[in-house]
Each structure stands twice: as C-alpha cells, then as structure tokens.
C-alpha cells in the first residue's frame, strides 16, 4: 500500500485534501504499534506525548470541521468537558486512555471530518465560510484546511522526535509494507 500523496498537478481542492491526508497518514505511522508506555513517553522538558497528540488532534479534527466549519456542537467526549476549569484536558487525560481508545478516538474524528468536508465541498466548495461565530470575519474552508495542515505538520514533527526516542523509528514515509491510514 502506498503512502497518500497530494497530486503533482491537481486542482486546489485535491491538492489541499491530499496534503492533509499525507499528514494524517504520517501521523498514524508515527503513533502506530505502540503500547501505553510508548504513548506516554515524552522528551523533557516538554509534556507532549504521542497519546496526548492523538487526543489533541482528535479534538482539533472535530473542532475544525464539526464546530467551526459546520457550526454544529461537539459530541462526546468533548461535550462533557469543563474547558474553563481544565483547558488542557485532552493532553492531561490521554494518559488515562488505552492505546486502542486513543487511536479509535482519533480515527473516528478523522472519519467525521472527511464526511463534514465532503458535505461542505458539495455545498459551496472551498469558498464555504465557517459557520462558527468565533471570528470577526469567518474564514473559508480553504483557510481551515491550510490551518489544519499546518497543525498536523507541526505535530508530525513532534511525533517524529518522540517516536525516534522510543524505538529509533525515523523517516518521512512509512515502508511499503506498512498499512496506510484509510
């Protein structure tokens, strides 16, 4: 199975979505196959862990596509968190979750995001404006995709360093025999 790549000469939508899928697949590879100890490993002085990144990016996926883009309320587990009392809940609580729970939470959020993106693209394409009233001027879906690609790229860099410290896994692309994130 090959690692997802954005097209070399695709249109804007295909290129942006392809770039996001590449970041997601690379992130899945960097977090894959680890036990709870591996997902809790960190590089001092940072408190970032791969488990925390999985939970954080699950929240970011739901926040960007469900809440910001479509203007819908967040579902579980995000809707039960007192974010004012615990603004770093996803980072802190990840240590209490199993690797399977963390990976499932993230993968399910990606599936919801893909569905929300397809819905928005069918409606008004990349010009679709975010429905959340969070900004003085709502950003387009195009801008949200660029922001999400940036968020993933930054965290894939973190994941790279943490994973290398755990078992020496390095590289930009998984080996051909590694299953890509569907």
Task: Measure the CA–CA gap between 47 and 41, rounded to whole angstroms.
Answer: 9
Phi, psi of 129 (to 5 degrees): -90, 145
Write down the residue that tokens 């790229």 correspond to: 153
Q: Find residue 140's DSSP bridge partners.
A: 129
Supply the pLDDT for residue 148: 97
pLDDT given for residue 5 in this prediction: 80
Token duo for residue 73: 């309320």
- CATH code for 31-167? 1.20.120.450
- Report whether pLDDT(176) > 90: no
CB 17 within 8 A of CB 141: no
Sign (positive/negative) of CA torsion 28, 29, 32, 37?
negative
pLDDT (tens digit, 9 = 90+) per residue, 48-94?
999 999 999 999 999 999 999 999 999 999 999 999 999 999 999 99
pLDDT of residue 123: 87
User: Distance between CA atoms of 39 and 13, rounded to whole angstroms?
Assistant: 33
* In the predicted structure, residue 115 carries a pLDDT above the cut 60: yes
Summarize pLDDT for 123-166 with one digit per residue, the tens.
889 999 999 867 788 999 999 999 999 999 999 999 999 999 99
Structure confidence at residue 180 (pLDDT): 60
pLDDT at 133: 66
* Helical ranges in the chain per DSSP H: 12-31, 36-40, 50-62, 89-93, 99-124, 141-167
Angle, helix 12-31 to helix 99-124, in steps of 10 degrees = 180
Task: Give the number of other Cβ atoms within 10 Å of residue 108's Cβ.
Answer: 14
Say if residue 171's pLDDT is above 90: no
pLDDT band at 2 (very low <50, low <70, confident <90, very high): low
Q: What distance in Å separates the CA atoms of residue 160 and residue 31, rounded to the nearest whole number?
A: 9
The residues, ordered by sequence, that sit 6+ positions from 113 with a Cβ below 8 Å of its Cβ are: 61, 62, 64, 65, 66
**pTM (whole model) above 0.85:** yes
Confidence of residue 46 (pLDDT cuts 50, 70, 90): very high
What is the overall mean pLDDT for the chain? 92
The conformational region for residue 125 under phi > 0 = left, psi -120 to 50 = alpha, else beta, is left
Confidence of residue 173 (pLDDT cuts 50, 70, 90): confident
């Amino acid at each position: 199975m090959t690692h997802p790549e954005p097209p070399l000469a695709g249109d804007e939508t295909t290129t942006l979505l392809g770039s996001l899928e590449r970041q997601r697949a690379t992130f899945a590879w960097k977090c894959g196959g680890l036990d709870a100890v591996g997902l809790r490993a960190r590089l001092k002085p940072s408190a970032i862990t791969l488990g925390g990144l999985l939970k954080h990016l699950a929240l970011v996926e739901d926040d960007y596509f469900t809440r910001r883009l479509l203007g819908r309320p967040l579902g579980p587990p995000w809707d039960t968190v007192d974010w004012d009392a615990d603004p770093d809940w996803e980072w802190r609580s990840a240590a209490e979750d199993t690797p399977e729970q963390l990976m499932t939470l993230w993968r399910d959020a990606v599936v919801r995001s893909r569905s929300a993106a397809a819905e928005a693209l069918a409606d008004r394409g990349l010009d679709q404006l975010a429905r959340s009233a969070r900004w003085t001027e709502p950003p387009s879906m195009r801008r949200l995709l660029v922001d999400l690609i940036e968020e993933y790229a930054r965290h894939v860099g973190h994941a790279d360093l943490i994973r290398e410290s755990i078992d020496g896994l390095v590289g930009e692309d998984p080996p051909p025999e590694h299953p890509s994130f569907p």
